[in-house]
Amino acid sequence: MLSRIAAVVVPSFGRLTVTSDHASAPAAGSIIVANHTSLADPGIVLAALLRLGVEPVVLATAGLWRIPVLGRLLEHGGHVPVHRHTHRAADALDEAAAALGDGRHVLIYGEGRLPGRTDAAEAPPESFRSGLARLAHASGAPVVPLGQAGARRVTSGRCVKQISGLLTAPARRPRLHVGASLHLPPDVEAATARARDAVTSAWRTAAGHLGEPAARVAAATRAA
């Protein structure tokens, strides 16, 4: 349900373009890991995945379940609340592993948070938390890296700037690239680094098509 609502709403954010290294939808029971840049990108990611025939279970901060209407949609869709910094935090990974075992796709944001900066420019993904690596190790599921760019042009920064972004959203061109799936190594630190590298590569593809300077800088740094 949430994915279908996103597919209806997202066209107002601009013309979304989706590219993929997959000939078909990612395999059932895959973990999809995305970069997180703005309040707009969850809707953009869900709408893009629906085009590929994927309606994932989403891991999201538990506070969203307290928002009227949204909380009901999240509950109805079987999405997983993450109770950070509480004794219930580990429950999210158990629920996500169960969803993967049932053949569902699971969407997780590797960074686990929005960036603290207020500018609208693109930047490579920030450091990842360990939850993704632990989930992949516990479930044995393949990981599909997803990079999105352009969402910060829709919403970022302070209130006035976010309103301005929303008003000009129809002129935006958000872009999303789905990279090839991979299996992460058992070591949590190595797995976290590999996943971030894969998402960064997918993000670079998406941002590069938008002509974002950060994508060129990241590519040059990697080549060096």
Q: Where are the domains of the chain?
A: 2-18+27-223
Q: Could you tell me the sign of the dihedral formed by the alpha carbons of 206, 20, 125, 155, in that order? A: positive
2-18+27-223 is a CATH 3.30.390 domain: no
Question: Does the structure show a pLDDT above 90 at 189?
Answer: yes
The span from the CA of 126 to the CA of 166, in Å, is 24
Structure tokens belonging to residue 6: 């996103």
pLDDT in tens, 29-46: 999 999 999 888 899 999
pLDDT in tens, 105-117: 999 999 999 888 7
pLDDT band of 9, cuts 50, 70, 90: confident
Average pLDDT of the residues in 36-62: 93
pTM for this structure? 0.86
Average pLDDT of the residues in 175-197: 97
